[in-house]
Structure 1
Amino acid sequence: MSDVTTHDFAVHGSRTALVTGSSSGIGLDIARAFLEAGANVVLNGRDAGRLAKAAAVLGRPERTAWVAGDIADPGTGEALVRTALDRFGTVDVLVNNAGTFASKPFTEVTEEELDGFLTHNLKGTYLTTQAFVRAVRAQGRRAGVVNIGTVLVEHGLAGFPASAPVASKAGVHGLTISLAAELAADGIRVNLVAPGIVRTPLHEGADVDAYGGLALLNRVGEVAEISQAVLYLADAEFVTGHVLRVDGGHVTGRS
């Protein structure tokens, strides 16, 4: 196992959610939403300092723990699960939010860049989910996995070349459907939220509102709208194998 740092404050509670890539942006807001819904939350990111700041921003130390580490390292998923069980007693929800995304023309993508997207988007999701499923099976509880994909898997943009990250996210979409079938007998539901263009730090320095016209609702999304969808799928007991677009009609309204 490579360098994995854990930090916790917490007491045992009810439901526990593990949220990868939760030091900022969508992941941090998903953590906020689970805390406000009464859950315990284990945060994750690669930078311990940023995670400590994120935990302070959330302001619920009695129900917050964090694990610093790269999800592409199987030890990170194992540490997330171990921290949740040690501090809160259960693992109930996994949100695979961590990943990377960048635009680059197809023929200019290097092998190293392609490997990076496949590793951090697909392999990391795969390995973290393995650790979670093993723990859920051991505790004999029903549970849910919510993956974060992208509507660009269904609707590419000519002006935004992103073949490498989209290919890796397409793998996450396929993994979602396959695991929903494989894990149903264990009482584990697996779903995916596919955001459209959302106002996050990923777009720092760009005029993100200029993309609003791509959606039928003529605006970009906000992180809280993704969090709302994640909480719905985490709670929806008769929903599995579903891809929920949260895109303002980006795919439906394509021209």
Structure 2
Amino acid sequence: MSTPDQKVAIITGASQGIGAGVVDGYRKLGYAVVATSRSITPSDDPYVLTVQGDIADPATAERVVSAAIERFGRIDALVNNAGIFVSKPFHEYTQADYDDVTGVNMSGFFRISQLAIEQMLRQGGGGHVVQITTSLVDHASSELPSVLASLTKGGLQSATKALAIEYADRDIRSNAVALGVIRTPMHPVEYHETLGAMHPVGRMGEIQDAVEAVLYLENAPFVTGEILHVDGGQSAGH
């Protein structure tokens, strides 16, 4: 159980990479954390509650939010980090690709954000919702065909701004972090040089770059509706 004044964050896609880094980042801020992913395992930290499940399934969102309220009593932040990226020529995408990407990237955002915002409104005191998106939304690349990323993450960026305006007068902020390619276990080492060269700064980003962007937004009460590019300059040009 958290102390009455301890804030609580929910992180999706939290078992590894950026999500795991964000969990650690919020704990260092003193937040209790509810962490969810399909493969997440229990934590030794009494202030980190893990919930296994597929965020594309609305039932997972219901379980995660219920667990947060039952264990810690409130929700102050939600980081919609879970995402799937499939790069292939548009005409080669399959129905399964479409279902997988839209399921996690869009359905995975929709229900849990609804439930988290409902709880923020119920308890008063505001809150914060953050989407993790991709810089490719703002600069399509011939080297990395990714229409499904643009379709889903582009939708999230528009929704980020809409939520910011809808709830601004109730002190619930909504922001997004638009990432370049981040060095995580999903990228084999042999591709690092090629992926790094896709950024004007000549290298990939690090997990901590993404984490610090999220924490900046968490600690920036006058910032809402912002799409924060953490992409080595990609969105500016190449």
What's the TM-score once normalised by structure 1's chain length? 0.88
Name the structure 2 match of 1:17.
Answer: 9
Q: Secondary structure at the match of 1:201?
A: coil
Q: Cα distance, 1:205 vs. partner? A: 5.1
| Contact 2:86–2:101 (Cα < 8 Å) also in 1 | no
Moved more, 66-75 or 218-227: 66-75
Q: Secondary structure at the match of 2:167?
A: helix
Aligned pairs (5 A) from 1:79-158: 79-158=63-142
Name the structure 2 match of 1:7.
Answer: none
Aligned pairs (5 A) from 1:231-246: 231-246=215-230
Q: Cα distance, 1:206 vs. partner? A: 4.1
| Contact 1:43–1:66 (Cα < 8 Å) also in 2 | yes
Q: Secondary structure at the match of 1:207?
A: helix
Letter in 2 for 1:219: R
CA RMSD of aligned residues (A): 1.5
Q: Secondary structure at the match of 1:199?
A: coil
Q: Cα distance, 1:165 vs. partner? A: 2.5
Query: What is the aligned length?
Result: 237
Q: Cα distance, 1:96 vs. partner? A: 0.1
Name the structure 2 match of 1:35.
Answer: 27
Name the structure 2 match of 1:4.
Answer: none
Letter in 2 for 1:40: A
Distance 1:253 1:217 in 2: 11
| Contact 1:18–1:95 (Cα < 8 Å) also in 2 | yes
Letter in 2 for 1:178: A
Q: Does 1:193 align with 2:183?
A: no
Distance 2:55 2:191 in 1: 30
| Contact 1:196–1:221 (Cα < 8 Å) also in 2 | yes
Q: Secondary structure at the match of 1:245?
A: strand
Q: Does 1:216 align with 2:200?
A: yes
Moved more, 146-155 or 156-165: 156-165
Distance 1:76 1:141 in 2: 26
| Contact 2:17–2:185 (Cα < 8 Å) also in 1 | yes
Q: List structure 1 runs of 4+ shifted beyond 3 angstroms.
A: 10-13
Distance 1:164 1:210 in 2: 22
